Amino acid sequence: MTNQTNSTILIVDDTAENLSILVDILQPKYRVLATTSGAACLKIAGSNPKPDLILLDVIMPGMDGYEVLFKLHQNPLTRDIPVIFLTALTTAANEESGLKLGAADYITKPITPSLVLARVRTQIEAKHARDWMKNQNTILEAEVKKRMLENNLIQRVSIRALAHLAEMRDMETGNHILRTQGYMHRLATRLNQHPRFATILNDRYIDLLTESAPLHDIGKVGIPDHILLKPGKHSQEEWAIMKTHAKLGSDAIEQAERDIDMHPAFFSAAKEIARWHHEKWDGSGYPDGLAKDAIPVSARLMAVADVFDALISKRAYKPAIPFDQARDMLAAERGKHFDPDMIDAFLDGFDDFVAIAKHYQDTEQVAREDTNNIVNLNRIL
């Protein structure tokens, strides 16, 4: 039940007698404010606390009721205050005109106290119901936002945990995740206005790629230690097993997708990255030998990010190499391993990628300034 005594009514009428009558009718049940001009009405309505309802005379000198109502609706602070027109104009056309302008109701003069109380009570109760619903919607929106943030946090923690599990077996560090995420986001952002990529690399998709990037090597969990951690060159048989990590990762994500019987966009991006980030532009990569645009954009981006970080980082089979040498090695693979436009974007913004690498640098893996490092490129490129 509406607590009527907590509701405020603003009466606007240029005739003192009419104001006095309305105040006497309404004051026992409501807090009543009164004024004789449209300008004063606008000022009072825009202040706090705002009235819950306005009784507005139509015919007034200077600014009439129609103009006042128009200005009330133009102001975000007052547009939701219901207005009942007060008028001696009794034709249906006059009433229709007021309602079309947005009046909540119409009361004709001379005033009938019981009619005024009934109309006011109806509008006050409707206003309180709308306010209650608005508050409930605000509470619900806040709760939904909170739950979404919690779900996003759980997703990020789960991704990091899985990625760390793979890294622990590959003797990498958590900073590899942060670096590759940074590279992916930076490279995708540099390409989001490129004619070839503008339709796919919107902000939402770039966020998906950034979040799913840590799962690119999750399939390494399924590779035996004696192969995964071997410091020397793999035999043909060992290399065949090593390459299965791409499909293993994709299959694991797909199984998780089946388990929950849902197909969110995040899973699609994660599967693409896990399965195809070792494919090459010229078709010589694995596991499926895809070439050029048949390789998903997500996987092509990850290829650049992953290879760059692998080159500048220490691995069981190689030392870290300097940034300039890594840049030249990636540039040499333009149109062979990598999408030419992606490599061009990488080279144009190379300082950005170096800054990301340095920001998340592993202190024990600082690249030696020895350009004669011998690197087993087969395991990277």
- The contacts of residue 226 (CB under 8 Å, 6+ apart) are none
Going by C-alpha positions, the residue among 99, 103, 106, 127 that lies closest to residue 8 is 127
Q: Which structural domain, as residue segments, surrounds residue 213? A: 171-379
State the pLDDT confidence band at 374, using cuts at 50, 70 and 90.
very low
pLDDT at 102: 83
| Residue 299 · residue 287 · CB < 8 Å | no
Backbone phi and psi for residue 34, each to the nearest 5 degrees, phi listed first: -145, 145
Residue 158 lies in a domain: no
**Integer Rg of the chain from CA:** 35
3-state secondary structure of 291: coil
Please tell me whether residues 214 and 114 are part of one structural domain: no
Residue 173 has pLDDT above 70, yes or no: no
pLDDT at 366: 42
| Residue 52 · residue 9 · CB < 8 Å | yes
Element counts in the chain: helices (H) and strands (E): 15, 5
Please tell me whether residues 189 and 323 are part of one structural domain: yes
Please tell me whether residues 275 and 362 are part of one structural domain: yes
| Residue 315 · residue 373 · CB < 8 Å | no
* Exposure b/e, 27-57, CB count within 10 A at least 16 = b: eeebbbbbbbbbebbbebbeeeeebbbbbbb
Please tell me whether residues 51 and 180 are part of one structural domain: no
pLDDT at 305: 97
**For residues 36 and 23, what is the distance between their CA atoms, to the nearest angstrom?**
13
3-state secondary structure of 89: coil
**For residues 248 and 246, what is the distance between their CA atoms, to the nearest angstrom?**
5
Residue 375 has pLDDT above 50, yes or no: no
**For residues 173 and 163, what is the distance between their CA atoms, to the nearest angstrom?**
10
Please tell me whether residues 114 and 217 are part of one structural domain: no
CATH of the domain at 77: 3.40.50.2300
CATH of the domain at 335: 1.10.3210.10
Residue 245 has pLDDT above 90, yes or no: yes
pLDDT at 71: 94
Please tell me whether residues 178 and 121 are part of one structural domain: no
Residue 161 lies in a domain: no
State the pLDDT confidence band at 93, using cuts at 50, 70 and 90.
low
